[in-house]
């Protein structure tokens, strides 16, 4: 591991070249991690997939019993420290578990809500006494948890919640009153992480509330488009007495808790989406091989090959970016612990450092899953629309992911907002590189001889993609200043450019590392997938850049930047049809997603 990579910061990918030897790739899981993953697969095969209809019908006691069984296998305690009965694994390993359970439909949602937003606030912000009291039972599944943040009318503006907590006259407890909605696991949870405002505070505080405290009532289960087996209730708190020792974190620190836990939730959502993508991809390939039309398996037709290949390319791209970020988080955490920071604070700070990448992954992962599920329906044809085939549930269940953990629109705006704020605070030097790109626009383009070394063209393309994003973002910030946040369409265009840059570079670094390990011939299919993704990324970045520039610039300024976008997204002619066919033919022969 190089010193350069040890010091990499969140968002720095835009201005700093990464070394492919420094990233983690999913081909390099160790035997223990593979065993943990396979345990999850076996559990889903034995306990979840045969019972999906029963789960969706909300059969009484079924979901809690599945969480009990998962707890017995240790699947609820992957991140919990060993001293509290967990495994204390690193962040990348926890992402692997989220991926491996991601095809569990409503069960995956219940598991994620329990182990993530339900448990992590106590693990990261709880006192020693709170951890000792709750973490062991949460890690074993003896107690089930949920997270109560959203309220009617609050939505994305979580800090506007009206739930109140008043300290009793004798100072022994808080009296909690309010209403929460869309509470996953609400129907069977024993522990509620509740956000409320004390007195007339401007910001939320957090509390650990036990159902046994009394005063908690629930509305009936919500009827939903998808994830029908996930318990989703409105929760009412009526004069609930919460002991002062169950106050979580600092006063008015609840919003910070919520934001930091959401950062973790975002990247873990991408991991779960990845697991679902792999399963849907395999199902689609298998069906295409079996389904015969006009005397041939439909997998032999070019239109179907295009879909199969593109499903796989987006899946592999998500995986490449996911575990690259996971390692960065683990490295940042380790460096902070080495520097003397407490373990749990360091883990939070490590995730917070890469909050930009977490938001990128949330958006790209959820939208890739939507694409994969939609094309899965199309490959199945009429059967894709039937509840007797698996695509019906996959299609409906995928849709929530663009809303969960902050809508994709909110996350797109956060990506740009976080980068700009880091630049303004001096944490990230975006101004210098953006000015350098602006200066380069005035110079004569470099038409030097092409280097025919493997990946040299793709490396140049990626460097130029970054220039396109920096140029557009820099000009928008300079032109619009404090009004940039009000121009949400422009912000989302810039965010789309940044997302494509990060995912394309992650894909590039992974394949380069694989070629070093296994040779070019063994990686031919993945090289084809990479070249296809980068070719398409050029078009996506070009479109987003042009749309943004035309929205805020005029005259010579606009013409100059549009020339820049054209220059920075120019790629050599490329036969993506043949490249996709190479990918598809490999997968069709394997009869499953096998990248």
Tell me the catalytic residues: 405
In sequence order, the 6+-apart residues with CB closer than 8 A to the CB of 120 are: 79, 261, 264
Q: Are 233 and 221 in contact (CB under 8 A)?
A: yes
Query: Closest Cα to residue 228, out of 17, 405, 403, 59?
Result: 59
Strands 292-293 and 232-243: unpaired
The dihedrals phi and psi of 204, each to the nearest 5 degrees, come to: -70, 155
Q: Are 332 and 326 in contact (CB under 8 A)?
A: no
What CA–CA distance (Å, rounded) separates 298 from 294? 9
What CA–CA distance (Å, rounded) separates 570 from 462? 11
Torsion of CA 105, 107, 113, 118, to 10 degrees: 180
In sequence order, the 6+-apart residues with CB closer than 8 A to the CB of 435 are: 474
CB atoms inside a 10 Å sphere around CB 69: 15
CB atoms inside a 10 Å sphere around CB 67: 22
What CA–CA distance (Å, rounded) separates 466 from 501? 6
What CA–CA distance (Å, rounded) separates 394 from 339? 45
Query: Closest Cα to residue 206, out of 190, 218, 192?
Result: 192
Structure tokens at 154: 């609050």
Radius of gyration of the chain (CA): 24
Q: Are 356 and 15 in contact (CB under 8 A)?
A: no
Query: Closest Cα to residue 326, out of 356, 349, 358?
Result: 358
Burial (CB < 10 A; 0-12, 13-18, 19+), residue 337, is middle
Element (H, E) at 335: helix 302-338
Structure tokens at 76: 């609820």
Q: % helix / strand / coil in the chain, to the nearest 5?
A: 65, 10, 25
What CA–CA distance (Å, rounded) separates 364 from 362? 6
């Amino acid at each position: 591991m190089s010193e350069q990579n040890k010091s990499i910061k969140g968002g720095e990918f835009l201005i700093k070249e990464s070394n492919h030897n420094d990233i983690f790739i999913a081909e390099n899981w160790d035997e223990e991690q593979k065993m943990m993953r396979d345990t999850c697969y076996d559990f889903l095969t034995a306990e979840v997939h045969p019972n999906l209809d029963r789960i969706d019908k909300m059969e009484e006691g079924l979901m809690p019993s599945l969480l009990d069984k998962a707890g017995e296998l240790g699947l609820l305690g992957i991140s919990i420290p060993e001293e509290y009965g967990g495994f204390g694994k690193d962040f990348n390993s926890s992402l692997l578990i989220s991926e491996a359970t991601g095809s569990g439909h409503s069960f995956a949602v219940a598991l994620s809500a329990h182990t993530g937003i339900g448990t992590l606030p106590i693990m990261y912000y709880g006192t020693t006494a709170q951890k000792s009291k709750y973490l062991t039972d949460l890690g074993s599944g003896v107690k089930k948890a949920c997270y109560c943040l959203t309220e009617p009318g609050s939505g994305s503006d979580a800090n506007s919640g009206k739930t109140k907590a008043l300290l009793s006259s004798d100072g022994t407890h808080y009296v909690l009153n309010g209403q929460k909605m869309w509470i996953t696991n609400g129907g069977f949870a024993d522990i509620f992480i509740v956000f409320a405002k004390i007195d007339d505070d401007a910001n939320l505080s957090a509390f650990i509330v036990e159902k046994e405290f009394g005063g908690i009532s629930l509305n009936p289960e919500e009827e939903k488009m998808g994830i029908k087996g996930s318990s989703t209730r409105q929760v009412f708190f009526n004069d609930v007495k919460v002991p002062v020792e169950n106050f979580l974190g600092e006063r008015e620190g609840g919003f910070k808790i919520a934001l930091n836990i959401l950062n973790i939730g975002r990247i873990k959502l991408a991991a779960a989406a990845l697991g679902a993508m792999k399963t849907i991809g395999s199902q689609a390939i298998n069906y295409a091989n079996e389904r015969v039309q006009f005397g041939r398996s439909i997998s032999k037709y070019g239109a179907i090959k295009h879909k199969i290949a593109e499903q796989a390319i987006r899946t592999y791209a998500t995986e490449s970016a996911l575990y690259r970020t996971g390692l960065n988080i683990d490295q940042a955490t380790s460096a902070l612990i080495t520097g003397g920071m407490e373990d749990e604070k360091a883990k939070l700070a490590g995730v917070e450092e890469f909050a930009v990448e977490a938001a990128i992954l949330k958006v790209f992962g959820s939208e890739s899953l939507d694409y994969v599920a939609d094309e899965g329906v199309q490959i199945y044809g009429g059967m894709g629309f039937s509840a007797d085939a698996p695509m019906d549930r996959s299609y409906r269940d995928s849709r929530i992911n663009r809303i969960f953990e902050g809508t994709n629109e909110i996350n797109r705006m956060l990506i740009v907002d976080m980068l700009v704020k880091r630049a303004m605070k001096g944490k990230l030097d975006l101004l210098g590189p953006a000015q350098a790109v602006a200066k380069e626009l005035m110079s004569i383009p470099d038409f030097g001889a092409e280097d025919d070394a493997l990946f040299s063209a793709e490396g140049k393309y990626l460097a130029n993609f970054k220039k396109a994003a920096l140029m557009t973002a820099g000009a928008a910030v300079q032109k619009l200043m404090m009004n940039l946040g009000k121009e949400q369409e422009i912000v989302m265009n810039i965010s789309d450019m940044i997302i494509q840059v990060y995912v394309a570079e992650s894909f590039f670094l992974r394949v380069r590392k694989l070629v070093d390990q296994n040779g070019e011939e063994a990686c031919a299919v993945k090289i084809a997938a990479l070249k296809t993704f980068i070719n398409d990324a050029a078009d996506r970045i070009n479109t987003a850049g042009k749309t943004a520039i035309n929205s805020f610039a005029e005259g010579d300024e606009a013409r100059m930047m549009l020339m820049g976008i054209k220059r920075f997204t120019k790629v050599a002619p490329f036969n993506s049809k043949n490249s996709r066919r190479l990918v598809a033919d490999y997968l069709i022969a394997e009869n499953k997603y096998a990248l």
